[in-house]
Amino acid sequence: MRVLVTGAAGQLGKDIVLLLQNKDCKVLACDRNILDITDEEQCQAVVSEFMPDVIIHSAAYTAVDAAESDVEGAYKVNATGSRNLAVAAERVQCKLVYISTDYVFNGQSQEPYHEYDNTDPQSIYGKSKRAGEILTQTLSTRYFIVRTSWVYGMHGNNFVKTMLRLSQEKELLQVVNDQKGSPTYTVDLAYFLFELIKTEKYGIYHASNSGECTWYEFTKAILEDAIDILGIQVTASLEPCDTSRFPRPAPRPRNSVMKHISIQTNGLSDLRSWREGMRSFLYSLKQTENL
């Protein structure tokens, strides 16, 4: 299988590339130096030359707060860039996976979001990602839209690594306890994507590690398991707080939990629990950094 991966230098992209290479796929790993997705002609040229069976499009403008003042930049990458890839994919008749986000919803629901619940993004980031979804659906006939949430992994900075560091530097950690979601380990998401691209079960999918927690509960679990697995010394005490404690330019969803209806109805393998995924990440971190 020939797979072109955008955003290959990102934390998800790197794990996708590693997995595909281990599965003996022919992979073209594209960071922005190899493929500028906002350049329509370059998208056409690179895709037409490589002739992929699948494009996994994980490149995105993900600076949620910066997007509020850089509207054009967010839409240029998340909407126009996605359009360019959808058109290029359709020209060579390949499958297209568009990685999307829980931010396409308003985050106020009392229940987990289903794949076909009405979208209502509240931030520029969410609106631009929803625009990318619409363009993917409109311009591609072989698409998978995969919405995920609270992503972390071995590569790059993320919430888990930040909490591990701060827990050893600070005396007090205040973490919001009124936003809930499903932390998602990039390795688990990559395995799901590999299973998905071998099918023709096109459509919208919600894919995150199973279960839910607040950011405070997530942090509490991170520190408990880090003490057990990594043997680190946590100096900080942990305290829950409200979202109002940390005002941001972009509104954060109160509820980012998504139900995996499409995974279940299509007979695909659901992702394991978020706690299992996180413990696996910590064991990998221990091996990589010799902790």
In a domain, residue 240? The reply is no
Give residue-wise pLDDT tens across range 140-191.
Answer: 999 999 999 999 999 989 999 999 999 999 999 999 999 999 999 999 999 9
Domain that holds residue 129: 2-158+182-212+257-273
Over residues 38-54, mean pLDDT: 98
- Determine the pLDDT at residue 276: 98
- Determine the pLDDT at residue 207: 98
C-alpha distances in angstroms, 115 versus 25, 52, 95, 181, 182? 29, 27, 20, 15, 15
Number of Cα atoms under 13 Å in the Cβ half of residue 10? 22
Number of residues that make up the chain: 291
In a domain, residue 170? The reply is no
- Determine the pLDDT at residue 289: 72
Where do the H-state alpha helices sit in the chain?
11-22, 40-50, 64-67, 71-75, 82-91, 124-139, 159-166, 186-197, 215-229, 261-265, 274-289
- Residue 22: give its domain's CATH number: 3.40.50.720
In a domain, residue 45? The reply is yes
* pLDDT higher than 60, residue 39: yes
- Domain tally, the chain: 1
Q: How many CB atoms lie within 10 A of CB 222?
A: 27
In a domain, residue 163? The reply is no
Give residue-wise pLDDT tens across range 223-282.
Answer: 999 999 999 989 899 999 999 999 999 999 999 999 999 999 999 999 999 999 999 999
Over residues 29-49, mean pLDDT: 97
* pLDDT higher than 80, residue 50: yes
Give the active site residue among 75, 103, 125, 152.
125
* Residue entry with tokens 């393998």: 269
In contact, 131 and 140? CB cutoff 8 Å: no
In a domain, residue 106? The reply is yes
- Determine the pLDDT at residue 290: 52
* pLDDT higher than 90, residue 222: yes
125 carries an active-site annotation: yes
| pTM of this prediction exceeds 0.85 | yes
Mean pLDDT of the chain: 96
Percent of the chain having pLDDT more than 70?
Answer: 99
Give residue-wise pLDDT tens across range 68-90.
Answer: 999 999 999 999 999 999 999 99
In a domain, residue 25? The reply is yes
In a domain, residue 131? The reply is yes
In a domain, residue 148? The reply is yes
